[in-house]
Structure 1
């Protein structure tokens, strides 16, 4: 059973109250859905959204909507969630959109983009700047719906066995890094790869890879990467990593309208809760890391390296936009929203933080 925080208890109480004032549904049909996760069992923050969503949906529907969750340990296909939900083997999934870039390249833009939007900016784009409509345009041909499923915030740049002092150090580097950032590193001579979450530690330990990025303090310490790779770099590649709920569209449309809305609301609430929980746990774990693991060396990439990454990123964005009209539409929309939104971020949050730093 999901352990409820005070905030979640308030949400659950409201859901129970809604059920009490709508008793007419008590004798109605129960709808059962199955959800597949990319994550293994008990996988920290990433394991929370699907369970919270299922718990809220059941309570708000007065028990009419029940969702069974299978982790990757059970279905044995961490990167098969897209295909399983599309085929109807599962009704829903919880994963990350950029994992499907090999199948549908335009899916990768809906997780995060290097040097792109922060979590607040990206949520604004999704819900008020046309992002949701563009995401559905990508997933619609496959009989799928995609809904934001929780954000990690800014991710760390990764764990490295050796210090990165120049662009040359990236050449031949075997690194676990998904999404568009992997393409950026490949352009600079690295060898990016994607590895299922449950295999990351072993791959780093055995030297299959030289470096990896995962999330940040909210998830990384429990994985034990600091025992192998002492250099921990700050981020550039995933400023707002949004997970996703995948839904089989035909199955969703078969639900009564009220249950459709309940399901969407439960997903939105659980995504928001993961986002704030990620910040909270990262803050806690950062203190733990600095006190219990003082040998971890936190580094910024040298300016020369960041400039090369940014240049490669801009070139790849231009190539992607030129090659595909839908990619161009998505990238133009993101760039336009970022340009507008970042002005306020600078005037608001950056100015505030800068003023605090000057005290």
Structure 2
């Protein structure tokens, strides 16, 4: 697609607020890449200033700051806003849902982007895919989970729909800003913490105080988001609008590949350097209860909200088609390699 012709030589400045602390690996790299690419592709006409959470002091306030025009762009995760915008949680990832390639297909060539636009439109905000972590691990636990009884009263940091599922099982989920996760676990304010995966978890040090590392079920394709204030976007000439949206798409994909690489490298290092870490999968009765709770919660959300019902239907129908191909392509290939 040809870019629109350059409208003027004016330099445009945008401010970006991110949920992450300064120089957070991978997550923070993505916003830096966005700023670099926007400036380079625009021949210096589009500058993006990045304010990390240690500067703006509101890691979970990014939505409100972009909505109010305090910032032009935000980088965060859509499910952080479920308290004020319940349908936002569908655009990060869903338990037992699509993998990253499947979900990207839904966003870019299915109904995903248009449904996300519909959810955010009343708030004067555009939302775009902002980079994927791939499958996330199930979390670090101070005690082994052997049955549903071990879940009762468990204090776990976990956001999004998965937090609602843990609550259904009798746990006590909370959301804590990234910078406070280690301290909360160390001080036993929480019993377990879900963050991302080996790409970032090891350097957080969770393995020093929680030796049980559980495999994932809850976030198979964790997509971050770029929030863009509509008025700020409208002030840009057409060519810079195209450059910004293209740059966001490029860096989102690059983050996915970067996470894939770092997870592979750090998984190998973890197995070699920290053999005491016990990698576990949740018992079958816990997984079965999670799936049952997931189905019940989806039905309850759909019954209360017609838009939620439409989003759920869109995701389920797209996943059915995409998963059939994933199984005959990726899964069959992996199965053949292990035979």
TM class, shorter-length = over 0.9
List gaps (5 residues or longer) in structure 1.
1-17
Partner residue of 1:265?
Answer: 246
**Alpha-carbon distance in structure 2 between the residues aligned to 1:254 and 1:131:** 26
What residue number does 1:223 align with? 204
Deviation digits for residues 68-89 of structure 1 (CA, Å, limit 9, x no counterpart): 0000010000000000000000
| 1:55 is aligned to 2:36 | yes
Asked if residue 308 in structure 1 is aligned to residue 289 in structure 2, the reply is yes
Q: Where does residue 285 of structure 1 map in the other structure? A: 266
Corresponding residue of 2:169:
188
Q: Secondary structure at the match of 2:200?
A: helix
Aligned position for 2:77: 96
State the distance in 1 between where 2:105 and 2:229 align: 25
Q: Aligned equivalents of 1:151 and 1:279: distance in 2?
A: 9
Cα deviation digits, residues 181-217 of structure 1 (max 9, x gap): 0000101110000000000000000000000100001
Deviations 1:208-248 (A, max 9, x none): 00001000011101100000000000000000000000000
Please report how far the alpha carbon of residue 168 of structure 1 lies from its aligned counterpart in structure 2 after TM superposition: 1.2
2:309 counterpart of 1:328: yes
Query: Structure 2 matches for 1:238-253, cutoff 5 A?
Result: 238-253=219-234
The Cα of 1:303 is off from its aligned counterpart by 1.1
Normalising by the residue count of structure 2, what TM-score does the alignment of the two structures yield?
0.98
Corresponding position: 1:232 with 2:184: no
Q: How far is the alpha carbon of 1:344 from its aligned partner?
A: 0.2
Q: Secondary structure at the match of 2:26?
A: helix
User: Which of 200, 213, 224 is the matching residue for 2:181?
Assistant: 200
- Whole-angstrom distance in 2 between the partners of 1:221 and 1:47: 17
Question: Per-residue deviation at 1:48?
Answer: 1.2
1:100-141 Cα shifts (integer Å, max 9, x gaps): 001110101100000000000000000111100000000000
Separation in structure 1 between the aligned mates of residue 126 and residue 173 of structure 2, nearest angstrom: 29
When the two chains are superposed, the root-mean-square deviation of aligned CA atoms in Å is 1.2
Superposed CA offset, 1:254-293 (max 9, x none): 1101100000000000000000010000000001100111
Q: How does 1:33-182 map to 2 (within 5 A)?
A: 33-182=14-163
- In structure 2, the residue matched to 1:346 is 327
Q: Using the alignment, how far apart are the partners of 2:64 and 2:241 within structure 1?
A: 22
Deviation track 1:288-346 (CA, whole Å, cap 9, x = no partner) reads: 10011110000011111111100110111111111100000101100000011100000
Secondary structure of the corresponding residue to residue 350 of structure 1:
helix
